[in-house]
């Protein structure tokens, strides 16, 4: 400690000579002042503890207590190198949690192994952040659940009181079996759709283009799409095409549907859509298509690629449609919406809701309500739209093609 | 991963503030060195700046500004090739209305008035009562101190107050941030104290704290413990290039050259790109030693720069120059210079290496472009197999071309003119020079419309070979392939920087080859008025890369004041000559 104080003084002086910065200069000069004023105590620092001025905080006292405080126990001597690395990583995560970075509090062996397999540091960071978010969500849910249970208990008590007070008989027409009734009704509709419904194909051929987490997202979206379809007045007959048995896709679907998988009212097949349907009635929906969908045709078979693409592999589904020589179309988003930000790729459930709505009403305004609001600033008025087309035409006379129709790499200015 | 998210926005450790860099002329960098006397270390400054006199500093700042301005105006005239450093910035500047730029919103942060001198407990208590932020008070205050680089004593008084409240225990995060401040202010003894505490309290550290500790320890005489920390880090992950760089600098600081080189080898072995400041440290240190072995290693570093197409910064270039000139007996002479259009160094008159690829490189690149850019595992993505076949037949049926034109890119150069007219102008201008032309386009260009006149397109087809791809195919890959297939003399005209196609290439080496080829073969049209004569931005005839002929070295470097994009190359050079051999006119 003696060294510290003796050493600091020349250093402080030196710092002052180096600080031309206005703001910081004050700061340093005050430091210097402090040193000048507190010269006496700092020189006699051998017995600092007894002399230190009453009001001044003891500056270095905490260090001794920190040093003397017991080290956290549990230093396990592990000989195995793999285990050692795992333990070291675990400790590292713990230290980072102390530092306040976004890492989970508890981590399982399996997660730790996944973490070690991450190819880069940023991948590790992302994975840890993901686990942190997951843990936080779980905790919040747990707390909510407990609160609800509490409220339920209280409600029960209140009800008991009520029952004891009023024992009147009430007359009902139905038993409360709504959910079951609804499920059965949806089942009937589903069977009907299986027999007479318009086919809608989900093409599952993109498994190799997706990472595991993208695939999980895709399956979630498929589940939701199927749910939306089931609830509709006039459901599609859904086909899962190119769904290879024992592929990651199939395994995940079976896992998520658990027992229900075999009772689903849809057709899952390993075949490709071109084997099932005549080629000229197929329309492949892809955002990269040059053709705009104008109306919903009830005699066509629409294909949606079940592909979550977070890696920006542009044109994968268009390439596939080109290879199979299929007609392609994209939604008329630009025609009806004032697009703001975000990609024109919509999620699978949004797609199916738009298609269902088109099938039932035929109005694009109604159908495009399912496009997320954050992606556009509003509908284009028809008059405004025609005006825009007019101005575009005027512009293009001298300028360039409409943006989407060509993928020319030009400098637009 | 290791770097803490919280530490990412910290200013650079151990470096002077940007303010210093602006004021102090680059030739006199403020340098510290450490003298070890009786187990105490003190910092000495070799050269101090002018006293903190606001008037004089203002003057200097103003001077720097005007200097910069002059440079800028120079550059506007001299940005003559398409890939010159700063050219893209200039183009975007000329293209955009300058008044519309720079309207970034100032960041608003909830702040507390930071104390400028150590407070006592009552004062801290009072300050805490006034505080109403989200985070805990201590954490908020120390984070803010880190941001504004408060003095160590203020931070220490905060820690003492926290410890007094908390049975002498200070949280790990506070400790790390305090450590950061100590390291920033170069309070070595304090760093060692904190190090002792951390060692006693925690059995392991995470990488953020280790990195800061390494930074702090390398300047003390316990620098070898920094190496131990590095070893600890390696257990969990590969240390960063900065960690290695710090350790190397520490080793050089304490004259342990072998350690420095072995660390450097390790760094390279992990496929990390060393920081330029690490390499600079080797050169700076080299001035004091006369050792053939060491010199050879430095030359190896220069070759490393060459192979990885790295360019030293301005101060690094000065270090290289000083080191060369300090070699006794060889009489090297260094000059900062530029290179003429002909590819001759303005200082010594030697011709620089040609931009052209060697035969093997050329074949290699051609194959890679074919395989990865056009085909890319799925021919349907950019074209179709039928079209590819049609194109190959077409190219093979024609004689080698001299110039390949990206029809759509050229045609859309002047937005107010008809596309086919612009294209026809360019084509007929080039056709007059008796060149074999190829115009690449899409089929829609042949469909008569207000923008594409039929007779003009017919004239284009008379004067040049034409290939029209499908409307949904990409035309750039065809452009690249047609040019490469025609041979080394063939050039192509487009303004496209082809960055997306470069990105399709598998590895950095191939991408560098592509860039080199692109520099030598891409013609960009200088945009004047539509009626003015057609002029091209000239292609480079020489390669911008570190190069040697044994008794001379030419080293391109980045100027501090120019922002260079990754697809641009520096324009300034360091020319080094052996005096005895070629008396260079200076």
- In three-state secondary structure terms, A131 is helix
Q: pLDDT digits over B416-438, tens only?
A: 888 999 999 999 989 999 999 99
Contacts of B200 in chain A (CB under 8 A): 66-69, 71
| Confidence label for A43 from pLDDT (cuts 50, 70 and 90) | very low
Q: Report the C-alpha gap between A307 and A215 in whole angstroms.
A: 8
With a cut of 90, say whether residue B45 has pLDDT above it. Answer: no
Per-domain residue ranges for chain A? 2-38, 186-390
A320 touching B (Cβ < 8 Å): yes
Put simply, the answer to whether B471 touches A84 (Cβ < 8 Å) is: no
Greatest mean pLDDT range, A342-356, B119-133, B145-159, B569-583 = A342-356
pTM beyond cutoff 0.80 = no
Closest CB to A22: pick one of B17, B54, B450: B54
Residue B279 backbone phi and psi in degrees, to 5: -65, -40
Q: pLDDT digits over B369-389, tens only?
A: 988 888 877 888 888 999 999
Neighbours of A303 (CB within 10 A): 27
Contacts of B478 in chain A (CB under 8 A): none
Please tell me the predicted confidence (pLDDT) of residue B360. 93
| Confidence label for A57 from pLDDT (cuts 50, 70 and 90) | low
Put simply, the answer to whether B2 touches A121 (Cβ < 8 Å) is: yes
Please tell me the predicted confidence (pLDDT) of residue A387. 58
* Chain B (371-390) residues lying within 8 Å, Cβ to Cβ, of chain A: 378, 380-382, 384
Query: Pairing relation of β-strands B40-45 and B32-37?
Result: antiparallel
Q: Report the C-alpha gap between B554 and B564 in whole angstroms.
A: 19
- In three-state secondary structure terms, B536 is strand
Neighbours of B581 (CB within 10 A): 11
With a cut of 70, say whether residue B162 has pLDDT above it. Answer: yes
Number of A/B CB contacts below 8 angstroms equals 231
For chain B, the C-alpha Rg in angstroms (whole number) is 30
DSSP state at residue B25: -
| Structure token pair of residue A385 | 């739209």
Q: Which of A203-207, A341-345, A363-367, B130-134 has the lowest mean pLDDT?
A: B130-134
Greatest mean pLDDT range, A67-81, A225-239, B131-145 = A225-239
* B362 class by beta-carbon count within 10 Å (0-12 exposed, 13-18 middle, 19+ buried): middle
Contacts of A124 in chain B (CB under 8 A): 1, 237
* Chain B (439-458) residues lying within 8 Å, Cβ to Cβ, of chain A: 442, 444, 450-451
- Mean pLDDT computed over A264-293: 93
Q: Report the C-alpha gap between A217 and A221 in whole angstroms.
A: 6
| Confidence label for A244 from pLDDT (cuts 50, 70 and 90) | very high
With a cut of 80, say whether residue B135 has pLDDT above it. Answer: no
CA distance A51 to chain B (A): 16
- Mean pLDDT computed over B92-105: 58
Closest CB to B205: pick one of A14, A95, A290: A95
Please tell me the predicted confidence (pLDDT) of residue A58. 62
Distances (CA, A) of B104 to B100, B101, B107, B564: 11, 8, 9, 22
Please tell me the predicted confidence (pLDDT) of residue A67. 67
With a cut of 80, say whether residue B54 has pLDDT above it. Answer: no
Phi-psi region of A106 (alpha: psi -120 to 50; beta: other; left: phi over 0): beta
Put simply, the answer to whether A66 touches B2 (Cβ < 8 Å) is: no
B418 touching A (Cβ < 8 Å): yes
Please tell me the predicted confidence (pLDDT) of residue A385. 57
Mean residue pLDDT across chain B: 81
Identify which of B163, B486, B416 has the alpha carbon closest to the alpha carbon of residue A397: B416
DSSP state at residue A312: -
Residue A53 backbone phi and psi in degrees, to 5: -55, 145
- Closest residue, chain B, to A409 (C-alpha): B496
In sequence order, the β-bridge partners of residue B468 are B441
Contacts of B408 in chain A (CB under 8 A): 406, 408, 410
With a cut of 90, say whether residue B159 has pLDDT above it. Answer: no
Contacts of A7 in chain B (CB under 8 A): 40-42, 188-189
* Chain B (220-279) residues lying within 8 Å, Cβ to Cβ, of chain A: 235-237
Neighbours of A372 (CB within 10 A): 10
What percent of chain B shows pLDDT beyond 90?
37
Q: Report the C-alpha gap between B2 and B209 in whole angstroms.
A: 9
Q: Report the C-alpha gap between B512 and A395 in whole angstroms.
A: 40
Closest CB to B202: pick one of A95, A128, A410: A95
DSSP state at residue B505: S
Residue B339 neighbours by CB under 8 Å, 6+ apart? B345, B346, B352, B542, B571, B573
- In CATH, the number for domain A186-390 is 3.40.1280.30
Select the more confidently predicted residue: A171 or B461.
B461
Sign of torsion over alpha carbons B50, B51, B54, B55: negative
Please tell me the predicted confidence (pLDDT) of residue B391. 92
| Confidence label for B129 from pLDDT (cuts 50, 70 and 90) | confident
Please tell me the predicted confidence (pLDDT) of residue B33. 37
A407 touching B (Cβ < 8 Å): yes
Q: Which of A133-147, A182-196, B35-49, B407-421 has the lowest mean pLDDT?
A: B35-49
Contacts of B415 in chain A (CB under 8 A): 398-400, 413
* Chain A (363-402) residues lying within 8 Å, Cβ to Cβ, of chain B: 396-400
Closest CB to A30: pick one of B117, B185, B196: B117
What percent of chain A shows pLDDT beyond 90?
48
A178 touching B (Cβ < 8 Å): no
Please tell me the predicted confidence (pLDDT) of residue B528. 73
Q: pLDDT digits over A159-207, tens only?
A: 888 766 666 678 888 888 889 999 999 999 999 999 999 999 999 999 9
> Is-contact B329 B295, C-beta < 8 A?
no
Please tell me the predicted confidence (pLDDT) of residue A355. 95
Q: Please report the ipTM that was assigned to this predicted complex.
A: 0.73
Contacts of A34 in chain B (CB under 8 A): 117-118, 153
| Confidence label for A68 from pLDDT (cuts 50, 70 and 90) | low
With a cut of 50, say whether residue A1 has pLDDT above it. Answer: no
Put simply, the answer to whether B169 touches A69 (Cβ < 8 Å) is: yes
Largest CA distance in chain A: 98
> Is-contact A304 B364, C-beta < 8 A?
no
B205 touching A (Cβ < 8 Å): yes
Closest CB to B197: pick one of A10, A66, A409: A66
């Amino acid at each position: 400690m003696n060294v510290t104080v003796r050493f600091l003084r020349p250093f402080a002086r030196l710092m002052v000579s180096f600080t031309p910065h206005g703001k910081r200069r004050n700061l340093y000069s005050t430091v210097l002042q402090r040193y000048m004023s507190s010269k006496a105590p700092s020189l006699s620092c051998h017995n600092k503890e007894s002399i230190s001025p009453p009001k001044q905080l003891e500056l270095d006292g905490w260090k001794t207590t920190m040093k003397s405080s017991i080290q956290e126990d549990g230093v396990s001597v592990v000989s195995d190198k793999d285990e050692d690395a795992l333990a070291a990583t675990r400790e590292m995560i713990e230290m980072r949690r102390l530092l306040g970075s976004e890492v989970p509090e508890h981590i399982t062996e399996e997660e730790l192994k996944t973490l070690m397999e991450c190819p880069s540091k940023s991948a590790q960071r992302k994975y840890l952040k993901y686990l942190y978010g997951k843990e936080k969500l779980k905790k919040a849910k747990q707390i909510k659940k407990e609160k609800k249970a509490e409220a339920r208990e209280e409600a029960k008590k209140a009800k008991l009181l009520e029952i004891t007070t009023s024992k009147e008989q009430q007359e009902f027409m139905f038993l409360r079996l709504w959910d079951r009734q609804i499920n059965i009704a949806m089942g009937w509709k589903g069977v009907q759709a299986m027999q007479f419904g318009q086919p809608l194909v989900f093409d599952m051929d993109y498994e190799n283009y997706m990472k595991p987490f993208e695939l999980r997202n895709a399956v979630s979206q498929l589940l939701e799409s199927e749910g939306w379809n089931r609830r509709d007045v006039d459901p599609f007959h859904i086909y899962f095409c190119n769904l290879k048995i024992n592929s990651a896709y199939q395994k995940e679907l079976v896992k998520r549907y658990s027992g229900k998988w075999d009772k689903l009212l849809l057709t899952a097949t390993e075949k490709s859509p071109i084997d099932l349907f005549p080629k000229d009635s197929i329309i492949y929906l892809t955002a990269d298509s040059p053709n705009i969908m104008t109306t919903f045709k009830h005699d066509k078979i629409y294909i949606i690629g079940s592909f979550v693409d977070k890696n920006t592999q542009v044109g994968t589904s268009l390439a596939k449609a080109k290879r199979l020589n299929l007609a392609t179309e994209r939604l008329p988003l630009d025609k009806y919406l004032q697009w703001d930000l975000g990609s024109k790729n919509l999620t699978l459930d949004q797609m199916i809701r738009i298609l269902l709505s088109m099938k039932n009403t035929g109005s694009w305004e109604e159908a495009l309500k399912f496009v997320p609001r954050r992606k556009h600033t509003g509908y284009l008025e028809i008059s405004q739209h025609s005006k825009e087309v007019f101005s575009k035409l005027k512009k293009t006379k001298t300028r360039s093609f409409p943006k989407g129709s060509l993928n020319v790499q030009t400098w637009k200015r | 991963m290791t770097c803490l998210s919280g530490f990412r926005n910290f200013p650079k450790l151990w470096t002077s503030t940007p303010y210093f860099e602006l004021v102090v002329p680059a030739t006199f960098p403020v340098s510290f060195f450490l003298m070890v006397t009786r187990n105490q270390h003190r910092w000495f400054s070799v050269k101090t700046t002018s006293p903190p006199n606001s008037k004089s500093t203002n003057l200097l700042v103003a001077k720097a500004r005007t200097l910069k301005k002059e440079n800028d105006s120079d550059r506007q005239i001299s940005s003559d090739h398409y890939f010159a450093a700063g050219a893209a910035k200039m183009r975007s500047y000329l293209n955009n209305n300058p008044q519309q730029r720079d309207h970034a919103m100032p960041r608003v942060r909830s702040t507390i008035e930071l104390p400028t001198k150590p407070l006592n407990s009552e004062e801290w208590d009072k300050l805490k009562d006034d505080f109403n932020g989200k985070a805990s008070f201590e954490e908020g205050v120390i984070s803010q101190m880190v941001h504004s680089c408060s003095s160590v004593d203020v931070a220490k008084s905060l820690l003492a107050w926290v410890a007094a409240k908390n049975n002498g225990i200070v949280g790990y995060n506070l400790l790390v941030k305090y450590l950061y401040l100590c390291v920033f202010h170069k309070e070595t003894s304090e760093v060692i104290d904190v190090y002792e505490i951390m060692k006693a309290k925690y059995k392991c550290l995470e990488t953020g704290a280790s990195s800061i500790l390494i930074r702090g320890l390398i300047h003390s005489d316990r620098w070898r413990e920094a190496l131990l920390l590095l070893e600890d880090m390696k257990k969990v992950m590969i240390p960063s290039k900065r960690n290695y760089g710090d350790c190397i600098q520490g080793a050089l600081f304490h004259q342990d050259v072998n350690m420095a080189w072995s660390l450097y080898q390790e760094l390279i072995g992990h496929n990390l790109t060393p920081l330029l400041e690490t390499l600079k440290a080797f050169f700076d240190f080299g001035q004091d030693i006369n050792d053939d072995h060491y010199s050879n290693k430095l030359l190896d570093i220069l070759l490393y720069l060459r192979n990885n197409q790295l360019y030293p910064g301005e101060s690094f270039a000065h270090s290289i120059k000083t080191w060369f000139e300090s070699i006794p007996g060889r009489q090297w002479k260094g000059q900062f210079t530029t290179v003429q259009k002909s590819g001759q160094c303005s200082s010594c008159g030697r011709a620089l290496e040609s931009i052209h690829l060697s035969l093997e490189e050329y074949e290699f690149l051609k194959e890679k472009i074919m395989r990865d850019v056009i085909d890319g595992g799925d021919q349907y993505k950019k074209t179709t197999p039928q079209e590819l076949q049609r194109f190959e037949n077409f190219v093979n049926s024609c004689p080698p071309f001299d110039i390949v034109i990206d029809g759509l890119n050229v045609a859309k150069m002047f937005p107010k003119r008809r596309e086919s007219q612009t294209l026809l102008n360019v084509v007929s201008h080039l056709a007059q020079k008796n060149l074999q032309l190829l115009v690449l386009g899409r089929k829609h260009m042949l469909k008569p419309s207000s923008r594409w006149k039929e007779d003009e397109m017919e004239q284009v087809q008379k004067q040049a070979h034409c290939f029209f791809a499908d409307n949904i195919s990409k035309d750039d890959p065809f452009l690249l392939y047609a040019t490469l297939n025609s041979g080394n003399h063939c050039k192509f005209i487009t303004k496209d920087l082809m960055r997306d196609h470069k990105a399709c290439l598998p590895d950095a080496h191939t991408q560098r080859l592509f860039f080199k080829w692109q520099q030598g073969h891409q013609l960009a049209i200088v945009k004047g008025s539509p009626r003015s004569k057609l002029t091209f931005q000239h292609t480079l005839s020489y390669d911008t890369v570190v190069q040697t002929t044994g008794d001379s070295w030419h080293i391109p470097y980045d100027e501090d004041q120019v922002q260079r994009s990754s697809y641009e190359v520096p324009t300034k050079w360091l020319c080094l000559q052996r005096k005895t051999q070629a008396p260079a006119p200076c």
